[in-house]
Structure 1
Amino acid sequence: MQASEYQVQFGRTLAPVFFPKNVHPVYLGRVLRNRSQSARVVDALKRALYYDKTDRMHLTGDEVAVKNPDDVPYNVDSEILHAILGMEGEAAEITEAALLNDRAKIVDESGDYLWYLALLFKKHDITFEEVFSKNIAKLAARFPDKFTLEAAVNRDLEAEAKVFN
């Protein structure tokens, strides 16, 4: 499935509902602010690990995080870790750009996010087309006709999982 077709198909399952009474805006603001702060820490870690830049490590607030003097090995593939850290940082930047309605920045940061996603996909031999088509198939199993609140709440997880087998 091509990206343009995915963008058409995903709209069929877009939720036309919103329940602002369920969450106080102050709480949502705190969550978004904390996400932004944690993303800066994640970016500092990524810069230190992959760009040999430790200038932002003070953001971690933990001196022990700055150095690995015993050269303790990491238990995860370095490219997968790079993808994880990169996506976390870029997701926060996309969030900030979206809240500011800055289209150019959304495109910019989304491209960066896609780069990290492509890195993760490369490590697992996944294509964007595979993800697009399987996601739409899963959503079609969840919402055979269109989005309904009932189907969103009472999902048939077995039917959805069959798409990935």
Structure 2
Amino acid sequence: MSANPNQIILLTYKICRFQGVYYSYMTGNEYQKSAMRTCRSPNLNHAVFGLCSEAGEVSGIMQKVFQGHKFDKNHIVKELGDCLWMIAEACSALDVTFEEVMDQNIEKLKKRYPDGFEEEKSLFRDKNDI
């Protein structure tokens, strides 16, 4: 009997208990794998331009708040999810995992700000520190 790919992905969810409440979660790599089910062929250009577009939608939601509209948390969460999807596509196009990118970013921040963020270190950062 062959398994449905969607069932396999659902089995990767983790369950944890915190203060009597159960939460399900997935790793970054599990998210990437699940998200890429809906991607025909990962394309870096599509991912980068798509990320800009989705980030613009997040920005648009916040612009509405400045114009007096009510903050719509559910809408912004959905758009942030679209941003994540585009990042997952970019990672896949580059043949790196979501978690590799996450780990490299944290390592960079630990080097740059070993004791936490400091404005002084930000202002006078080495020009080669990308």
- Quickly name the TM-score band, shorter chain normalised: 0.5 to 0.7
- Residue 78 of structure 1: how far off its partner (Å): 8.2
TM-score (structure 1 length as normaliser): 0.46
* Corresponding residue for residue 91 of structure 2: 121
Deviations 1:49-85, CA, capped at 9 Å, x for gaps: xxxxxxxxxxxxxxxxxxxxxxxxxxxx982221122
* Corresponding residue for residue 102 of structure 1: 72
1:1-165 equivalent positions in 2, closer than 5 A: 79-99=43-63, 100=65, 101-156=71-126, 160=129
- Give the match's secondary structure for 2:81: helix
What 5-or-longer segments of structure 1 have no aligned partner? 4-76
CA contact (8 A) 1:142 1:156 kept: no
Distance 1:126 1:135 in 2: 13
Q: Which has the higher strand share?
A: 2
Distance 2:88 2:44 in 1: 11
Deviations 1:98-128, CA, capped at 9 Å, x for gaps: 3433211111111111111111110111222
TM-score (structure 2 length as normaliser): 0.57
- Residue 157 of structure 1: how far off its partner (Å): 5.5
Distance 1:86 1:149 in 2: 32
- Relative distance call for 1:83 and 1:92 in structure 2 (3 A) is same
Q: Which has the higher helix share?
A: 1
Distance 2:49 2:114 in 1: 35
CA RMSD of aligned residues (A): 2.4
- Relative distance call for 1:78 and 1:139 in structure 2 (3 A) is closer
* Corresponding residue for residue 16 of structure 2: none
Q: Taking CA–CA contacts closer than 8 Å with sequence separation of 6 or more, which of the two structures ends up with the larger relative contact order?
A: 1
The residue type equivalent to 1:123 in the other structure is: A
The residue type equivalent to 2:55 in the other structure is: A
| Structure label with greater radius of gyration | 1
